[in-house]
């Protein structure tokens, strides 16, 4: 096997702790406790190894990374390693003083998550009363600190009709970029699929809204748009392909080809406590298992799209079929494609409420 190209991005999941309880959270259902988290010095070593490996962008995430009291120290490690750092945050644990400390430590960019444009709905979805108001105050602090701002809006059935208001919110907060990201259904989101999955009519309306807004706001606001696989006919190249351009490290130190990969059974994901990032990237069985095209079953093997979508999402394939190596059901050629249609039909008549993300429900992975 030829050596893989270097990863461009590193997602450092600093903690699973978070004051929000979002029912679509991308963290695994089994959440790591604070006692299992890597310390700041270990993160610093990982950042230096990432820079040497070729990583350019570092995303500091969680949970809520500001739950770490040593976050300024971690940011300083990233700056000394020469990495461009992006803080992915809910904003509810940071005030102007704490944010300025992060800017002084070398933070380059802030990505603020919002749950809705309407305060009551946003607080209900996030499970934190007053959370939305705190986010708006935090966005003002981002500008005061001189940091660029991206707004991240995870959209689904219960907020998608207010997408025009979310675009207006991004403009009012002075964001340079808006990420309109449809929920991806694994982990907590899979538990809440019936309450979150939008109708086709909602999706089509949202796509028209984004298309119009991109034309109208060109030069003022960049809008990224991630569509849901459940209404697709072709799969996305999940994370640019398994083990091709992205590496994640969990709070406990597991190195992963994507942030949701811990949901897959039968893997021994290596730890950065025991191995260098370069060794993990090049040689670990977990990263090489679905790298390239040699692993692909029919109809992926021989498909003209195989080096564009790289087989789609392994976590979604497992969630829907029980086999991580199966053809992603988002592909119309998959023998399991009908499962997506069935899920959409079931969600259309479901009346269930959210199962919120809770640390109390979690156990420490073994």
Annotated binding site: 18, 22, 25
8 Å CB contact between 339 and 316: no
Contacts of 33 (CB under 8 A, 6+ apart): 16, 359, 362, 364
| Beta bridge mates, 223 | 178
The 3-state DSSP class for residue 112 equals: strand
C-alpha 153/C-alpha 182 separation (Å) is 8
DSSP secondary structure letter of residue 262: G
8 Å CB contact between 119 and 133: yes
C-alpha 145/C-alpha 64 separation (Å) is 20
C-alpha 89/C-alpha 98 separation (Å) is 13
Binding region for [4Fe-4S] cluster? 18, 22, 25
Nearest partner of 265 among 339, 323, 185, judged by Cα: 323
Both tokens of 201, joined, read 């009519």
Both tokens of 31, joined, read 């959440």
C-alpha 345/C-alpha 165 separation (Å) is 28
């Amino acid at each position: 096997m030829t050596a893989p190209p270097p990863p461009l991005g590193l997602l450092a999941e600093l903690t699973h702790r978070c004051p929000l309880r979002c029912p679509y959270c991308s963290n695994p259902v089994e959440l790591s406790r604070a006692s299992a988290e890597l310390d700041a010095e270990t993160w610093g070593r990982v950042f230096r190894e990432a820079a040497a490996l070729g990583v350019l962008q570092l995303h500091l995430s969680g949970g809520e990374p500001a739950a770490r009291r040593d976050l300024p120290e971690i940011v300083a490690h990233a700056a000394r390693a020469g990495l461009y750092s992006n803080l992915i945050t809910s904003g509810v644990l940071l005030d102007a003083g704490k944010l300025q400390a992060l800017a002084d430590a070398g933070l380059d960019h802030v990505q603020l998550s919002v749950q809705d444009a309407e305060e009551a709905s946003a607080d209900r979805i996030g499970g934190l009363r007053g959370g939305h108001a705190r986010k708006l105050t935090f966005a003002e602090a981002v500008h005061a600190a001189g940091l660029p701002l991206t707004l991240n809006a995870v959209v689904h059935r219960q907020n998608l009709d207010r997408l025009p208001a979310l675009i207006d919110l991004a403009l009012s907060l002075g964001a340079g970029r808006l990420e309109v990201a449809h929920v991806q259904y694994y982990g907590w989101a899979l538990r809440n699929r019936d309450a979150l999955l939008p109708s086709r009519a909602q999706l089509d309306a949202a796509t028209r809204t984004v298309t119009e807004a991109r034309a109208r706001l060109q030069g003022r606001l960049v809008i990224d748009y991630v569509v849901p696989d459940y209404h697709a006919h072709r799969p996305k190249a999940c994370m640019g392909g398994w083990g091709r351009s992205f590496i994640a490290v969990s709070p406990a130190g597991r190195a992963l080809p994507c942030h949701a990969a811990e949901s897959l059974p039968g893997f021994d994901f290596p730890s950065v406590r025991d191995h260098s990032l370069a060794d993990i990237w090049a040689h670990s069985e977990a990263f090489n298992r679905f790298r390239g095209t040699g692993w692909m079953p029919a109809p992926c093997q021989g498909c003209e799209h195989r080096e564009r979508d790289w087989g789609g999402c392994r976590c979604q394939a497992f969630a829907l079929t029980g086999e991580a190596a199966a053809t992603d059901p988002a592909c119309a050629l998959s023998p399991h494609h009908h499962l997506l249609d069935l899920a959409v039909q079931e969600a259309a008549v479901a009346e269930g409420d959210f199962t919120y993300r809770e640390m109390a429900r979690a156990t420490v992975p073994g």
